[in-house]
Chain A
Amino acid sequence: MATAVMTTLDPNSRSATRGMSDLTIRNLFIIPTIVFLIVFNIFPLLYSLGYSFTDFRASSPAAANFVGLQNYRELLNDPFIWSNFAITAKYVIVSVVGQVIVGFGVALLLNRDIPLKGLLTTLLLLPMMLSMAVVGLFWKLLYDPSWGVINYALGLGNFEWLSNPDMALYAVAITDIWMWSPFVMLLSLAGLSAVPKHLYEAAAIDRAGSFYTFFRITLPLVAPILMIAIIFRTMEAFKTFDLAYILTSQPTTEVISIRLYKMAFQEWQTGRSCALAYIVLIMVLAITNIYVKYLNKVKER
């Protein structure tokens, strides 16, 4: 691949001496973005790191007092915060597992010659492009116990979804599954279409059963791309806020983002919420790190 012609011109070459040097252009193109992101992404985080060691309340004019690690200590010993994390974990598991089953299942069904396949695929992808908050709101009407379409279609009578503490989290997860299964489907389809056809032909010649073909050929070859979908959805589900916040106000659906929002903007415990934000941040960075490493690995193949 790499021949002398194709490598980047070195700064001393003839053409690079005309106009701006490559080095100048590189800096001109990259540095503003990095500076912008530092100012608006990193600086705020340092700002809140500082507040996380104080008892600051944004609602009161009182000055912030330094309290050391007290916020962190109290948060990590607070059973209610742990129950928020437990709710989040349950939500992540239910919704990601649901999305993988539905998304991968539909991808398997779609992975054949179907009339109007392109149109059907695009239509199936529509839910994930829409605003979670706005479409989520409408699921309130769909879930309504008296005139909701869901109860009518399933013949459930006046079954309570969102106002039922045991059911509300599942109802939110179902809406999330509806929105994001298409994402898993999209990635799975890409994985499935990349499986070489001759493998299936060879399996057919060997009279391998469809069960064997699926677990020995299809699944291992689609696994890397499916894994990307799973990590990405796990991360997003962990961060979930819009859907759960809009659909219900049950304590059983108080995922960690909602707790954080309430602590910061309703109870105005600013210092404490900064500490909680940092605990969440560290968790997200850990998952992101895994995700990006995995992305790069898949890219290199």
Chain B
Amino acid sequence: MAAVRTSSEIGFNRVAIVAVLLVTIIFLAPIYWIASTAFKPRNLATTIPPTVVFQPEISPFVKLFTKRSQLRSAPTPEEYAAAPWWERVVFDGGEKIVRDGKGQVQWSGYPSRFMNSLIIAITSTVLAVGMGTFTAYGFSRFKVKGEADLLFFILSTRMLPPVVVAIPMFLMYRAVGLNDTHVGLIILYTAFNLSFSVWLMKGFMDEIPKEYEEAALVDGYTRMEAFFKIVLPEAATGIAATAVFCFITAWNEYAFALIMTNRRAQTAPPFIPSQVGSGLPDWTVIASGTFLFLLPVAIFTFLLRNHLLRGMSFGAIRK
């Protein structure tokens, strides 16, 4: 920076800082609104003017996990007193928790969708990053005929609109019975993330000096030993960053999940919007489901902050 600063420059700097703060607040407002609605009583979720200050409640989360129905008549004082705290919260909202014949609480659709999301995202990430790491090493260290074309081919498959790929996949999966299965979505997400993982990992591999392995080869390691004992530990950060990116992509994916699943293997992204049907949706329940669903990604974003640029540009831009 220039040593001498005019007073107008300093003034402009102050204005810029205030503007940045304002922009940050505006950008975070929708996320704040989701988080705050997740803890509101239902009657405060849709008010004019919007409710900003309120006593936070846990009731939306109780409702998120349970199946409920409208109360025809208020519960008797004995019923109310006998109910555990989480059931009282639902009574207070004019609903009751549905129980089966044995009195077991019925779960809502949310927990199973959340589990499906976890299983599918984690498995496909492990597969995509595992295969991607080997392939990236191959491309990084050895001469491959038509390398540029192959890498373009690998990337271009990811660039297609999901619906374009989903039409034939749907027909093929239907023929072999993979529609609405975990395996079906895992394969799709692995294929989808594999290209990304190859591109990103190749960048990380290129950065590991070849001399490391060559020294090991001279010391009597085989190429495989050198790869596992020297290269992989060096690439650990890159592998972790790639894995987080793949996980987030699979976790957030909507179109494939919408088309290929409907119940058994349905993930959270198509499930959460399906709760908004006709009539007045309970936004506090939707917000609490959204809140839990967004939480892992928000945490990962902070962990990943130094690699975001690289990941989002397919490894093209490094700091």
Contacts and interface: CB of A to CB of B under 8 A. Distances in A.
* A and B physically associate: yes
B131 to A, nearest CB: 5
Contacts of B23: 106, 109, 124
A201 B161 contact: no
A123 B2 contact: no
A117 to B, nearest CB: 9
Given A124-B23, A241-B255, A37 B294 contact: no
A20 B227 CA distance: 12
Contact of A47 (B139, B160, B168, B293): B168
Contacts of B187: 40
A288 B223 CA distance: 35
B30 A178 contact: yes
A288 B50 contact: no
B168 A48 contact: yes
Interface in A9-67: 9, 15-16, 18-20, 22-23, 25-26, 28-30, 32-34, 36-37, 40-42, 44-45, 47-48, 51, 58
Contacts, number: 297
A185 to B, nearest CB: 10
A140 interface: yes
Contact of B160 (A18, A58, A281, A298): A281
Contact of A228 (B131, B134, B317): B317
B13 interface: yes
Interface string A270-301: 10011001001100110111011001101100
B81 interface: no
B198 A241 contact: no
A154 B185 CA distance: 42
Contacts of A44: 165, 168-169, 172
B217 A15 contact: yes
A252 to B, nearest CB: 20
Interface residues of B, number: 108
Interface secondary structure of A, over-half rule = helix
A62 B159 CA distance: 33
Interface string A254-267: 00010011001100
Nearest to B157: A41
B16 A135 contact: no
Contacts of A29: 134-135, 137-138
A160 interface: no
A19 B211 CA distance: 19
A14 B254 CA distance: 52
Contacts of A122: 301-302, 305
B171 A126 contact: no
A36 B153 CA distance: 13
Interface string A136-149: 01111110101101
A149 B272 contact: no
Contact of A299 (B135, B195, B301, B316): B316
A73 interface: no
B316 A22 contact: no
Given A41-B165, A44-B165, A109-B20, A265 B259 contact: yes
B164 interface: yes
Contacts of A298: 316-317
Nearest to A25: B223
Interface secondary structure of B, over-half rule = helix
A142 B268 CA distance: 21
Contacts of B131: 32-33, 36
Interface in B212-270: 214, 217-218, 220, 222-225, 227, 248, 251-252, 254-255, 259, 268-270
A280 B164 contact: yes
A132 B286 contact: no
B171 A270 contact: yes
B37 to A, nearest CB: 7
Interface residues of A, number: 106
Contacts of A285: 156, 159
A126 B172 CA distance: 37
Contacts of A23: 142
Interface in B277-319: 283, 286-287, 290, 293-294, 297-298, 300-302, 305, 308-309, 312-314, 316-317, 319
Given A20-B222, A134-B293, A292 B155 contact: yes
Contacts of A281: 160, 164
Contacts of B143: 8
Contacts of A257: 161-163, 255
Contacts of B49: 152
Given A25-B223, A106-B20, A118 B305 contact: yes
Given A33-B198, A137-B276, A288-B156, A110 B20 contact: yes
Given A20-B224, A284-B159, 15 more contacts: A15-B218, A15-B220, A23-B142, A26-B141, A29-B135, A32-B134, A44-B165, A114-B20, A115-B17, A121-B305, A122-B305, A133-B254, A135-B290, A201-B2, A280-B164
14 contacts: A6-B210, A29-B138, A41-B165, A114-B20, A122-B302, A123-B27, A124-B24, A126-B301, A130-B294, A137-B272, A142-B30, A147-B46, A261-B163, A292-B152
Q: Which 3 pairs of residues, A with B, have the shortest CB-CB distance?
A: A19-B222, A29-B138, A133-B254
Interface of B: 1-2, 13, 16-17, 19-21, 23-24, 27-31, 33-34, 37, 45-50, 131-132, 134-135, 137-139, 141-144, 148, 150, 152-157, 159-172, 174, 187-188, 190-191, 194-195, 198, 210-211, 214, 217-218, 220, 222-225, 227, 248, 251-252, 254-255, 259, 268-270, 272-273, 276, 283, 286-287, 290, 293-294, 297-298, 300-302, 305, 308-309, 312-314, 316-317, 319
